[in-house]
């Protein structure tokens, strides 16, 4: 099938874009807080901390719970709980079929997430979509992570596509800033973990209500 989608490379955020993982991340956070005999938090609060990587996430939680513990001492336990829950996240409606449709058109697909790389492939495999992706950058794959531009540049170079002809699809300020910093066009999704970020003022090519609307871009 000839390529009709306007971008030969699409780079997707993971949490809040492809996968609804907040309940599982929240479980890992609360298990960690319980280990340290600290108060736990509800899903809405923990969701508000997602998007800047696992270390920053647990830092927010520990500090909010009143602890000044060394985060280096907290991380091993948190990553154990994170690993125990990491495969539970579910794809948002229409994600699998839309990814398959793009892949069928010859579009190269990649993931750029601040989630540690060790958790990315197993989750995509568990949801049956790993084989659709040609590249993956996690939060610890490179020295930089979103909102820095380097992860997007890395993927664009990997596929020989100019940044300006690639597309970043995400749901948060971190995704938007990474795209703008890298000179990559941006699409944002309303259903993700946007916190208080104004999606409509982010300079995106489009702001979509559902994932399958991506196929209508021209």
d(Cα 75, Cα 170) in Å, to the nearest integer? 26
- Encoding tokens for residue 76? 């091993």
Q: How many CB atoms lie within 10 A of CB 83?
A: 14
β-partners of residue 167 are 10
Which of these, 141, 198, 192, lies nearest to 169 by C-alpha position?
Answer: 192
Within 10 angstroms of residue 100's Cβ, the number of other Cβ atoms is 15
State how beta strands 90-91 and 206-208 pair. unpaired
76 burial (CB, 10 Å; 0-12 / 13-18 / 19+) is: exposed
State the catalytic residues.
13
Q: How many CA atoms lie within 13 A of 16 on its CB side?
A: 28
* Region class of 177: left (phi > 0), else alpha (psi between -120 and 50), else beta: alpha
Locate 17 and state its tokens. 């874009």
- In Å, what is the CA distance from 195 to each residue of 62, 97, 214? 19, 27, 22
């Amino acid at each position: 099938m000839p390529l009709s989608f306007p971008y030969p490379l699409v780079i997707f955020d993971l949490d809040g874009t492809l996968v609804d993982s907040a309940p599982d991340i929240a479980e890992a956070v609360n298990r960690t807080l319980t280990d340290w005999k600290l108060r736990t938090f509800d899903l809405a609060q923990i969701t508000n901390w997602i998007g800047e990587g696992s270390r920053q996430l647990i830092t927010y939680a520990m500090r909010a719970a009143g602890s000044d513990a060394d985060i280096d001492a907290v991380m091993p336990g948190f990553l154990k709980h994170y690993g125990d829950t990491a495969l539970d996240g579910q794809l948002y409606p229409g994600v699998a079929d839309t990814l398959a449709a793009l892949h069928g058109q010859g579009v190269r697909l990649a993931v750029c997430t601040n989630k540690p790389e060790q958790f990315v492939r197993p989750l995509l495999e568990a949801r049956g979509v790993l084989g659709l992706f040609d590249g993956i950058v996690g939060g610890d794959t490179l020295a930089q992570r979103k909102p820095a531009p380097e992860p997007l540049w890395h993927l664009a170079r990997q596929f020989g596509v100019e940044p300006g002809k690639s597309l970043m699809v995400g749901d948060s300020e971190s995704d938007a800033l990474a795209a703008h910093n890298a000179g990559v066009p941006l699409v944002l999704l309303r259903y993700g973990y946007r916190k208080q970020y104004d999606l409509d003022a982010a300079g995106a090519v489009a702001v979509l209500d559902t994932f399958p609307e991506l196929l209508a871009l021209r």
